[in-house]
C-alpha cells in the first residue's frame, strides 16, 4: 500500500467517496487503518519537527482599519509580570506614551532616516566581508560610525546616587550606552527630562586613560579614545544619520528596577551631542561588544535579554534582562554560524510563505546576503529576488482591492486604498528560520498606513539594491512578539503575545 505515486486531481476525486464510506464504517480497525494511511501518505499535518509561532488555521487575516489609528490616551499599565524583575517598560518613541516634545516625523522622514541606518549597516557588513570596492570604501560612512536612525523604542532607567531617571532609546545595533550630561560644555539638544548632572551623583567617577575600559572604546565605537589628562578618558561615537555624542567616559550606578542595580556601569557622559528626532536622554547599546549593557551585566543576567515592542498605537511593552518563566510557546532558531565582526545579531532565513505557500526563492538567495535582526531598523529589508517574489504573491492575494501609488510619500511600491473596506482580508506572511522555526506575521506587522491616511496602507517590506546586501529583520515586523536573545546560548527565540 505505497504512497510514492503523486495523485492527480482526478485520482483524488475518485478516492474521496471511498474515504467517506470508510469513515462511515463501524469497524474501529478500518478507521485506524485509514488514519495510518493518511499520515503515511503525507495527508496529515506535515513535518513533526517544525516549530511554529503564531499558528493560525486560515491563510488570511482580517485587519480592522480602526486598529491602525492612534489612541488619544496612554494606557499606563505595564505587561511585565512578577518573574520579570530586571524589566523596563518599553514605549514607542512616537506613540501615545512618549514624552516627546517634538512632532512625530512623517512616513517619508522616518524612511529616510531608516535608509541611512540600513546603508550604514550594509556598508559595515560588506567591509568586514571584504566585498567593498576601493571607490565605495573611500566613501564608506561606517568607517567610524555606528548605524544611524537609532530606533523607535524607549526605556526608562535610573542613573546615579540619588537616582536620576533617564529615557533612553535602545538599540541592538549599537554597543555604548550614553546620555547627555551637564554642563554641556559643547552643545546639548533639547530633551524631555532634566539633563543628568554628574556632580550631583555621589557614585559617579571618571574612567582613567590608562584603564583597560578606556582602551575598549575603540571596539565599541570605532573611534580611538583620547585624553584630556591622565584621569579623564574621552569617548566619541557617531552614527550614519549625523547623530553623535562626545564626552567623558565614566561609571556610575545604573538602576534597572527598584531591586536590580548595576554598580560601576560604564557609559558615555556626553558634553557635545546631537540626536535626530532628539527628545530622549540618550541611547542604550544592546550589541555584542564587551562594553554593551548585555556584556557588562553578564554576571547577573547571563547575556540573556528579551523584549516585546508595542505597536505605535500600543502602550504595553518591555525590555527584560535575564531569563523569565513567561514564555510557554517560545521557540528558538540558532544565531548564524557566519557571525561577522560587526557585533550584530545574524540569523538564517530559509524561506518565506504567503497564504501558506512557500515562495520560489532558492536557498542561495538568503545565504548570499545573510540576515540580521535589528531593533533600530524599522522596515525589513530583503534580497531583491526575495522581495520581488513576496511582492508579487502579495499582490495576487490582494487583487480584489484597488491599488494606489504612495504618491512620493514613501518608497513603498505596493499600496492599496481601503475606502469602503473597513475590514480587509490580508494574506498571511510567514518566515522560516534555521531550525525549522516558522513565525507567522499578523496583519499589523504586514501593512503600514501612509501619512495622513487611515485607509491607504502599503506592504511594509522593502528590497535591497544588491543581492549581496545584508538582509535586516526590522522592528516593525517584530512588534507584539516576544523576542529573546540567548547570546551565551547562541540562539534567538520568538513567542506570540509578548506584550500581553
Residue numbers annotated as active site:
171, 374
Cα-to-chain-centroid distance, residue 82: 25
- For 12-45, letters b (16+ CB in 10 Å) and e give eeeeeeeeeeeeeeeeeeeeeebeeeeeeeeeee
| 146 contacts 174 by C-beta, under 8 angstroms | yes
Which strand (E) or helix (H) includes residue 296?
A: helix 293-296
| 277 contacts 99 by C-beta, under 8 angstroms | no
Q: Which residues are 495's β-sheet partners?
A: 482
| 79 contacts 500 by C-beta, under 8 angstroms | yes
Contacts of 6 (CB under 8 A, 6+ apart): none
Rounded-to-integer distance, Cα 347 and Cα 345, Å: 7
Q: Please, how many CA atoms are within 13 Å of residue 459, restricted to the half-sphere of its CB?
A: 27
| 483 contacts 418 by C-beta, under 8 angstroms | no
| 495 contacts 396 by C-beta, under 8 angstroms | no
| 177 contacts 117 by C-beta, under 8 angstroms | no
Which strand (E) or helix (H) includes residue 268?
A: strand 261-274
Q: Which of 6, 20, 54 is nearest to 478 (CA)?
A: 54
Rounded to 5°, the CA angle 328-346-476 comes to 65
Number of Cβ within a 10 Å radius of residue 488: 12
DSSP 107: H
Q: Copy the grid coordinates of residue 287.
A: 550589541
- For 334-361, letters b (16+ CB in 10 Å) and e give bbbeebbebbbbbbbbbbbbbeeeebeb
Amino acid at each position: 500500500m505505497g504512497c510514492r505515486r503523486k495523485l492527480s486531481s482526478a485520482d483524488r476525486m475518485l478516492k474521496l467517496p471511498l474515504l467517506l464510506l470508510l469513515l462511515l464504517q463501524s469497524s474501529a480497525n478500518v478507521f485506524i487503518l485509514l488514519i495510518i494511511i493518511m499520515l503515511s501518505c503525507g495527508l496529515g499535518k506535515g513535518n513533526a519537527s517544525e516549530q511554529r509561532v503564531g499558528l493560525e488555521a486560515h491563510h488570511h487575516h482580517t485587519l480592522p482599519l480602526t486598529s491602525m489609528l492612534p489612541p488619544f490616551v496612554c494606557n499606563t499599565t505595564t505587561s511585565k509580570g512578577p518573574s520579570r524583575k530586571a524589566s523596563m517598560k518599553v514605549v514607542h518613541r512616537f506613540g501615545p506614551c512618549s514624552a516627546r516634545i517634538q512632532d512625530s516625523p512623517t512616513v517619508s522622514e522616518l524612511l529616510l532616516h531608516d535608509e541611512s541606518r540600513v546603508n550604514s549597516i550594509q556598508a559595515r557588513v560588506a567591509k568586514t566581508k571584504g566585498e567593498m570596492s576601493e571607490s565605495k570604501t573611500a566613501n564608506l560612512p561606517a568607517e567610524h560610525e555606528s548605524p544611524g536612525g537609532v530606533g523607535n523604542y524607549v526605556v526608562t532607567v535610573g542613573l546615579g546616587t540619588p537616582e536620576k531617571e533617564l529615557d533612553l532609546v535602545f538599540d541592538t545595533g549599537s554597543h555604548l550606552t550614553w546620555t547627555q550630561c551637564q554642563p554641556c560644555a559643547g552643545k546639548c539638544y533639547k530633551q524631555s527630562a532634566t539633563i543628568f548632572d554628574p556632580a550631583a551623583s555621589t557614585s559617579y567617577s571618571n574612567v582613567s586613560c590608562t584603564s583597560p575600559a578606556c582602551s575598549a572604546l575603540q571596539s565599541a565605537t570605532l573611534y580611538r579614545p583620547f585624553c584630556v589628562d591622565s584621569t579623564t578618558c574621552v569617548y566619541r561615537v557617531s552614527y550614519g544619520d549625523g547623530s553623535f555624542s562626545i564626552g567623558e567616559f565614566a561609571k556610575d550606578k545604573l538602576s534597572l528596577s527598584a531591586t536590580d542595580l548595576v554598580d560601576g556601569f560604564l557609559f558615555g557622559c556626553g558634553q557635545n551631542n546631537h540626536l535626530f528626532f532628539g527628545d530622549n536622554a540618550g541611547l542604550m547599546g544592546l550589541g555584542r561588544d564587551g562594553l554593551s549593557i548585555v556584556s557588562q551585566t553578564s554576571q547577573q543576567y547571563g547575556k540573556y535579554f528579551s523584549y516585546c515592542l508595542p505597536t505605535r498605537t500600543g502602550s504595553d511593552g518591555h525590555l527584560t534582562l535575564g531569563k523569565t518563566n513567561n514564555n510557554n510557546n517560545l521557540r528558538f532558531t540558532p544565531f548564524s554560524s557566519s557571525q561577522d565582526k560587526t557585533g550584530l545579531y545574524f540569523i538564517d532565513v530559509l524561506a518565506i510563505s504567503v497564504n501558506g505557500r512557500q515562495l520560489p526563492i532558492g536557498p542561495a538567495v538568503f545565504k548570499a546576503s545573510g540576515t540580521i535582526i535589528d531593533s533600530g531598523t524599522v522596515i525589513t529589508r530583503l534580497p531583491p529576488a526575495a522581495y520581488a517574489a513576496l511582492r508579487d504573491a502579495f499582490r495576487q492575494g490582494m487583487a480584489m482591492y484597488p491599488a494606489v501609488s504612495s504618491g512620493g510619500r514613501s518608497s513603498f511600491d505596493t499600496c492599496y486604498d481601503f475606502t469602503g473596506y473597513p475590514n480587509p482580508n490580508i494574506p498571511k506572511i510567514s518566515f522560516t528560520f534555521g531550525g525549522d522555526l516558522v513565525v507567522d506575521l499578523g496583519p499589523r506587522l504586514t501593512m503600514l498606513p501612509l501619512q495622513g491616511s487611515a485607509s491607504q496602507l502599503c506592504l511594509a517590506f522593502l528590497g535591497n539594491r544588491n543581492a549581496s546586501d545584508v538582509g535586516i529583520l526590522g522592528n516593525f515586523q517584530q512588534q507584539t512578539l516576544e523576542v529573546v536573545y540567548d547570546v551565551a546560548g547562541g540562539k534567538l527565540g520568538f513567542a506570540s503575545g509578548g506584550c500581553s
